[in-house]
Structures are given as structure tokens and as C-alpha cells.
Amino acid sequence: MCGIVAYLGKKTARPILLEGLKRLEYRGYDSAGIAIVTDGKLYLERRVGRVGNLEEAIDGRKEFDGSLGLCHTRWATHGGVTDFNAHPHRDDRHGIVVVHNGIIENYSALKQYLQEKGHTFASQTDTEVLAMLIGELYEGDIEKAVQAALREVTGAYAIAVICEKEPNVLVAARKGSPLMVGIGSDNEYIVASDGAAIIAHTARVIMLDDYNVVKITRDGFHTTDIHNTPLSPKVQQLEIDLEQIELGAFPHFMLKEIFEQPSSVRACIGGRMNIREGKVVLGGLSSFAKELTKASQVILTAQGTALHAAMIGRYMLEDLAKIPSHTEYASEFRYRNPVIEENTVVVAVSQSGETADTLAALYEAKERGALAIGVVNVVGSSIARETDAGVYLRVGPEIGVASTKAFIGQVGALALISFYMARKRYMSADQCIDMMKEMEAIPAKIEKILESAPRIKKITEKYIERENWLFLGRGYNYPTALEGALKLKEISYIHAEGMPAAEMKHGPIALINEGMPAVFIANRGRQYEKVMSNIQEVRSRGGHVIAVATEGDTEIAKHVQDVMYIPDVCEPLSPMLAVVPLQLMAYYAAVARGHDVDKPRNLAKSVTVE
């Protein structure tokens, strides 16, 4: 959450900073601010709302034409959405300015200490406390002041810092929240919380690790830890290109990413299936093949959409690999006393690889001796670096706040892991070949579903005035129902509840009234007849049923108001198809209700604080 961009070079900083900030606006869009040093003097501006408000406020103002600066787009944590609480924050003595992602947990005690030292605060934020603390410790060297301040801080941070008294220095640091330094040509540097803000200028980056501090000048940079011990970070290449983060012909990133799902699945599975020999090739897991074969249980931990993918992964691991498996909210797992037996495998699932709760759950599992596996999208992310092994999604950058192609990629990656483990335990080569052939056909089947998008749009528009929806499924598609409900809630602000279809009779059926939309995932499978019975229960109470059904099932149309068809597929992979109409429904509902699809209220793309 929140986006940081900072620049030091020979060019005018303002257009580079604002361009980068717009690319990161999906990370937070409550407010935005910028600080630039021009001719040795610091200038700062902040505005509530989108980056465009900030851009308008500084348009044509020559004082913002300097070549050193930083900016921030905020997702509010400490303090309400006001100009005073917007970043950057400055100290009250030395012209020190800070932008910050994360949470300073001991800010209250630090604030009291600083007030006793005579500092006056203008905001409610923890970030202003950090700025004041750096100012209190400043003795003419901003790098040393930042190091000293961070030694006193408890919590998570990614920060960029500039000082009016040192107009040729940019300092950045990180612990628990992502931050990288882009290295351009001719001593040009861009610090950002996401590669999307850097890739237009350079693909060469260093990824800061926890407790890293980097000092950048016009002559180069050096990296230390917070105790000033020199470090030698490795320069890496960003694995994204500019086209991937541009809208192209689509009106919203969410729709673009829904339509990218066929190519995303192809990328996810590409080179990972040897169908002729019945082998799954997962290089990231090969060093731990024996441990995975001996696994006594698998615990999958995640949050939000990733948790729904993990639930489907659990079903696959139990069904195909015959391994006892569980899913856990990462936010609950770390605060319980979880039972980690010998030969336990813990799988952390996260699009960003930076989800704070999932990362903390991973640390807890490793501390207790579990083998840690990561299923993440962002190469070099914290979870990717902290796991023993893993599988990257390879679906490309996901900009839309409501996750779509990452979910498909997570289910696809978990399916490959399930095939891999099943083949090493009980699954025959022929069975594995059959499953891989089914997987190979998924992209073309998604393309076929996408052809029906206009029809799904018409169905959705019939129900957008209804404020309460149910999403119901059984077996593999119970988690799909949860995901469908979440998508509708996230971007259309319609209240929706997902649940197992059989659970409806145990209380929620009381909610059914005349015309209430109930979306059933009713594809052909082992529990098809049971789902049909549940449909009748809703119909008899006046509910309007929208069914996701298998192509060729003409009988179901006699029992429901509307049908959205998906191609036939083996049951374990059916969520990869069934979720697509639900994603489109959520998208079209949000558009019809006039909402900002890519920037839903109160949400940010990556939750890097608890």
C-alpha cells in the first residue's frame, strides 16, 4: 500500500516523479504530495485526492523545477484523509522531508519523547514522528541521522529522505515494506516501491533488503545497514516491460487483466509440463523433492483472493496427492499456537509477495521447522526471498486493485504443485498426462468464455439495483463462490455473501426474498444434483438464480432465470473457468453503478501493514 517515488539526477524531477506516482496510484489514492529541492531550497505541496489534484496544484510553478525530489500517494493508516496527514512530512528544524510506507509501531512513545524535546506536530501520522526523530538526531549528515533514527524504530518502513541542507543527497531505507533503486545512465537514480515507476527509465535495479540504507549522490551510491556496515547489493533486471503496465485499448486495468488471463495461464504453465513423459517440471521445487514426497501435512496460508486460491489448492492436494491439507488466514495463524508436525510443508500464497500477515505467518512456520514454499507473482519479493523454495506465477504485473489474473495464476501454480506431488506419491503417469492435457486446454477455454462478455454484461445489468447477493458453490467451487462475492463487494460496493450451497439451509436462507440474486456455480461434477436441489430451494422462496453451468446443459435453463456457460473441464480445474464470468459480473456491475473500477474506495493493491 502507498506509493513512493524519489529522483536524483540531471533532469527536472517533477515530470518523472508525477509520471511514476500515477503508475503507482493503484497502491493508494487518498492523497498525494511532492517535495523538491530547487536552487538549494525545499518546496513541498500536498493534496487530498488523486495525483491529478497534486499535479494541478504545482502546474507552472518554477520552484518545483529542481532535480532532486520525492513524492508519495497515500493509503491512510494513521490519521484521517487530510492535507496535513498527506505525505511528505517534514521536521521542524532542518528542512528534512520523509515519505514512508508501513507503520511505526512505537510512534506514540517516540512522539511523547520528541514533544518533551520541544518539537511541534502538525499531523496525526506516525510518519511525521519519524521525520521529527531524524531531525532530532541530525548533526549535519542525513545518512547517519536516518541510520540512528531507524535503530530506535519498531515496525515496518520503506522510506525516502531528503534534506534542504544537503541538496545533492537522497537517502532510502527499507524494513518489511518493498523498496528498490533504479540505476539509470549518467548517474540518474529513481527510488520506488514498485518497478512500475522505474521501468520507463531503466530496467537495472537493486532490491533493498530489510535494514538496508542507501545513500545516493550525484556521483553514485553506496549501501549499508542501519549500523553503517557496508553492503554489496546485486544489480538485477526488472522482469516487466512498459507495455504490460499500460492500459492500451481497455477502459480499465481490471478488464484488461481479465482478458489477459488466457495468456497469463500460458505463461504460468509454459515449460512446466512434459506431457509426453507425464512429468511436471518445477525447477524451484526440485531441490526439495524428497521432503515434499514425505510431507505429513500441507498448510496453505494467505489473505483475501489468495486465500480463496489456497482453498482450491487444498482440495487439489487432498484429492490428487492424498496429503492432509489445511488453509489458514495468515492474520490468524501467527497469533495462534499452530501445530507444526514433523514433515509439515507451509505454502505462502501472495500476488505481491509483500503481504504483511502472510509474511509474518511464514516466519512463524519456519521458526517451528516447517518447509516453506512460496507461490508469488513478484520476482524478488520478500516472501520469495524468505521461502525455502517456490513457484512464480509469471502472469505479469497486475495493476487493478481487484485481483483477477493473479487468482487464475495462483490456482494454476497450485495445480502444478499438486500434480508434481501427486505424481511422486500415488498418481500414475497416464493420470498425470490426462490432468496436464486438461490444463493445457484451459487458456483456449477461457478465451471462449470471454467471447460471451456482452451477454454477461446484459445479465448483470438486470440485477445491479439489488443490494444483497448470494454466491453459492460446492466442493472445488465453494472457494470460487467466495471469490465471486469478494469481487462484487470490492468494486461495486454491493453486499455479497459467498458460502457452500448446503450451508444456506442452516440460517442464511432466511435472507432470501423476492428477486434476490443468487449466483450458483452449477457446472457438471460430483455434486451437480445436490446443487440443483439447492437451486430449487432458492427458487421456491422467490430468489432469482443466475447459474454458471457447463456448455450443453440445456436442462438447467428450465430452473433458473439466467445462465452463463463455461466449457466442460475436469473438476479440479473448473474454478479456473467458473471464476471468469464472476469477474466479468463484478466489473460490469461496478461500471454500471458509476464506480472507479481500478481504484475502489478504502482498498489498496498490496497490504504491507497489519
Which residues are catalytic, by number? 2, 605
Distance between CA atoms of 192 and 451, rounded to whole angstroms? 38
Q: Which amino acid belongs to residue 587?
A: Y
Terminal C-alpha separation, the chain: 11
Helix boundaries (H) for 182-260 = 253-259
Distance between CA atoms of 99 and 68, rounded to whole angstroms? 14
Distance between CA atoms of 485 and 481, rounded to whole angstroms? 6
* Radius of gyration in angstroms for the set of CA atoms belonging to the chain, rounded to a whole number: 25
Q: Which amino acid belongs to residue 202?
A: T
Q: Look at the block and give the residue holding cell 481500478.
A: 598
Distance between CA atoms of 112 and 156, rounded to whole angstroms? 20
State how beta strands 68-74 and 325-329 pair: unpaired
Instruction: Please tell me the total number of residues recorded for the chain in this structure.
Output: 610
Distance between CA atoms of 550 and 408, rounded to whole angstroms? 19
* Number of Cβ within a 10 Å radius of residue 445: 21
591 three-state secondary structure: helix
Residues 6+ apart with CB under 8 A from 199: 238, 240, 241, 242, 245
Q: Is there a contact between 370 and 341 (Cβ–Cβ < 8 Å)?
A: no
Please give the sequence-ordered ranges of beta strands (E in DSSP) within 426-582, or none if there are none: 468-473, 495-500, 517-521, 544-550, 562-566
Q: Look at the block and give the residue holding cell 496525526.
A: 124
Look at phi and psi of residue 513 and say left if phi exceeds 0, alpha if psi is from -120 to 50, else beta. beta
- Which grid cell sits at 322? 492424498
Distance between CA atoms of 88 and 488, rounded to whole angstroms? 34
175 has which bridge partners? 157
Residues 6+ apart with CB under 8 A from 220: 187
Containing H/E element for 572?
A: none
Q: Which amino acid belongs to residue 525?
A: G
Q: Is 291 exposed, middle or buried (CB count within 10 Å of its CB: 0-12, 13-18, 19+)?
A: middle
Containing H/E element for 394?
A: none
Q: Is there a contact between 35 and 43 (Cβ–Cβ < 8 Å)?
A: yes
Q: Is there a contact between 12 and 67 (Cβ–Cβ < 8 Å)?
A: yes
Distance between CA atoms of 301 and 288, rounded to whole angstroms? 19
DSSP string over 260-304: THHHHHHHHHTTSEETTTTEE--TTTGGGHHHHHT-SEEEEEE-H
